[in-house]
Amino acid sequence: MRANATFPMRCAVAILATLALGACADGPGVASGTDPAPVGTAATTPPPIPGARSCDDPSPIEAVAHGLEAQGKMRGDGSLFALFSDVDALTAGTPITTYWRLGGDRALRVTLIGPGDRVAHATGVRPGVPPFPWDRPGEPWSSQVTFPQPGCWRVYVERSGADGDVWVHVT
């Protein structure tokens, strides 16, 4: 009889646990960011960022101790920095570990728009700081970026509530 007396309590605890876990399902999904689009997925060009750079006037890039640092433009206020790690040039076909600093909420999505409006995506996007000091405003992220071909590339980044871009020339 004692086991039957605790049955309603165990059911109530199980139901509350299920509801609590279900409530977390819509929480921040920052364990991963951009994954490649499935084959056959139609890609659209992201909206332009007012006041952003272009192929004729790319984002400022500076050689720093751990690679190339580019300063991008966010829609509205906010800062955007990309650090292309351990490279002295952006070369097509070479995976580049890239660190990001920007504001916003939730997961980061990184889209590459290149010559002929070719669209590609960064892989391995996740929260993370580089293994060396790199102090810039915004939340830290890391990814792998591979530019499929040489030319001018717009690197569009977006998080819930924030988007921006970095314009670069790739050899």
**120: left (phi > 0), else alpha (psi -120 to 50), else beta?**
beta
The per-residue pLDDT of the chain, averaged, comes to 83
The tally of domains found in the chain comes to: 1
Whether 147 is in a domain gets the answer: yes
DSSP type of residue 93: T
What CATH number is attached to the domain comprising 99?
2.60.40
**CB-CB neighbours of 55 under 10 Å:** 13
Residues 73-85 have pLDDT tens digits of 999 889 999 999 9
Whether 122 is in a domain gets the answer: yes
C-beta of residue 121 within 8 angstroms of C-beta of residue 112? yes
Whole-structure pTM value: 0.75
Residues 5-39 have pLDDT tens digits of 555 555 454 454 444 434 433 333 344 454 444 44
- Domain span at residue 89 reads 61-170
- Sequence-distant (6+) residues with CB within 8 A of 124 are 142, 143, 144
Whether 29 is in a domain gets the answer: no
Task: Calculate mean pLDDT across residues 91-116.
Answer: 96
- Sequence-distant (6+) residues with CB within 8 A of 123 are 34, 35, 36, 143, 144, 146
Whether 104 is in a domain gets the answer: yes
Q: How confident is the model at residue 46 (pLDDT cuts 50, 70, 90)?
A: confident
Task: Calculate mean pLDDT across residues 119-145.
Answer: 95
Q: What angle do CA 163, 69, 171 make, to 5 degrees?
A: 95
- Asked if the model's pLDDT at residue 43 lies above 90, the reply is no
